[in-house]
Amino acid sequence: MGKYEALGNFLSKHKTANVRMSFAEIERVIGAKLPSSQRYPAWWSNNPSNNPMTKVWLDAGFQTEQVDIAGRKLVFRKVAVPLSGSDDQSDAPRGKHPLFGCMRGTMTIEADTDLAAPADSEWAAIAFGQPRGQD
């Protein structure tokens, strides 16, 4: 178990959209002091390659907001169904945005359409090495 996995477990158990925490509460949850880099706003960014703890809260389906370095507090906001499984039985596919597939069935493509063919005759001439203006 990684140093920050306890935070991911803690966040995953919350059903609310926002989880307000002080840095001291985070330290109690993880059972260790936060690194000295926690005093920089960039450490709390939602860039997954930022630090190991960032990946933990993102995998739990949360992002940080309202980071108050001076006040040593922040808000974790639920943004997605976590990729690592959950007991949530919603209809949304895991790991996909809720709008994924929303346009399904709104367009029809004729059966004999070549989707790889150039859409414009000038493009076709270039693609097939024909002089421009000839088909």
Average pLDDT over residues 49-59: 89
* DSSP labels, 48-81: TTS-HHHHHHHHTTEEEEEEETTTTEEEEEE-S-
**CA dist., res. 135 & res. 133, Å (int):** 7
Tokens 């004729």 correspond to 110
Tens digits of residue pLDDT in 70-121:
999 999 999 965 544 444 444 444 567 777 777 777 878 788 877 777 677 7
Domain extent listing, the chain: 1-130
Average pLDDT over residues 32-47: 90
Output the pLDDT for position 77.
Answer: 95
**CA dist., res. 119 & res. 97, Å (int):** 30
Rg of the chain over CA atoms, in angstroms? 24
Output the pLDDT for position 114.
Answer: 76
Whole-model pTM above 0.75?
A: no
Task: Say which amino acid occupies 27.
Answer: E
Tens digits of residue pLDDT in 60-81:
999 999 999 999 999 999 996 5
